[in-house]
Amino acid sequence: MQIGSTSSFQSSNLISQQKKKEEEENEKLASGKRINSAADDAAGFSIGQRLTSQINQSAQLNANETYNQSLASTESSGLQNSSASVQRINELVVASGNGINGANELGAIQSEINELVSGIDNASSLGLDTINVTTQSVDANLATGQAAQEQLLSSQSDLGAQINASDSYQRQLSSAFENQSAARSRIEDADYAQVSSDQSKAETLLEASVRAQKEKEENEKNAVTNLLG
């Protein structure tokens, strides 16, 4: 009876192992992953985790660049609007010096200039708030307007260079993200055909082990019955 008990334990242990194997293959099929924990492949799991960290970092950096580009686009739009306003101011300054404008006409021109200046965020730093066609010469006013225009154009150029650099960096991040994702996929993702085959084998072995165990128990039961009978 001791021998039978030991044999039964070994059979039960084999069945448990086969059942665990089947569960592991089922998990791989369900997740699509060859590696679901360190127990599946310690080295592969570690590499996969490191790649996941790099992927998350690339994704966050990409998101940061997208946000920065959004801010830059808004700033660029503001600079373009300001540049258009300054261009109109310069046109008005030139028009004010045609020699036929009276006080009323100059006052109307100055009112339009004031309205345009009020719509420019950094008008004071550009000196635009000093333009006054009713008290200053055309040359002085025009010099101020043209200097402001040059400064705005320079700012647009600098911003354009920053946007281009950001575009290039974002392309690098996207490429890194794709490469890292592909590398992780090669390590972690399951070969569906192989896993399906392994799962089928594990299932067959489990069924065979269970059937053999039942037959063994039945044979032992019959042997005991015959012995006692």
pLDDT digits (tens, 9 = 90+) for 49-73: 999 999 999 999 999 999 999 999 9
CA gyration radius, the chain: 40
Q: Kindly report the length of the chain.
A: 229
Residue 95 has pLDDT above 50, yes or no: yes
Note the pLDDT of residue 19: 59
What would the CATH number be for the domain defined by 43-189? Answer: 1.20.1330.10
One-letter-per-residue 3-state SS of 12-78: HHHHHHHHHHHHHHHHHHHHCECCCCCCCCHHHHHHHHHHHHHHHHHHHHHHHHHHHHHHHHHHHHH
Average model confidence (pLDDT) across the chain: 83
Q: Are 53 and 220 in contact (CB under 8 A)?
A: no
Q: Element (H or E) spanning 214, and its range?
A: helix 192-228
- 17 pLDDT tier (thresholds 50, 70, 90): low
From residue 138, alpha-carbon distances to 103, 116, 129, 145, 146 in Å are 15, 18, 15, 10, 12
Residue 128 has pLDDT above 50, yes or no: yes
Q: How far apart are CA 83 and CA 121, in angstroms?
A: 12
Of 3 and 108, more confident = 108
How many CB atoms within 10 Å of residue 95?
Answer: 14
The greatest distance separating any two alpha carbons of the chain, rounded to the nearest whole angstrom, comes to 137
Q: How far apart are CA 159 and CA 169, in angstroms?
A: 15
Prediction pTM value: 0.63
Residue 44 has pLDDT above 80, yes or no: yes
How many CB atoms within 10 Å of residue 164?
Answer: 10
- 208 pLDDT tier (thresholds 50, 70, 90): low
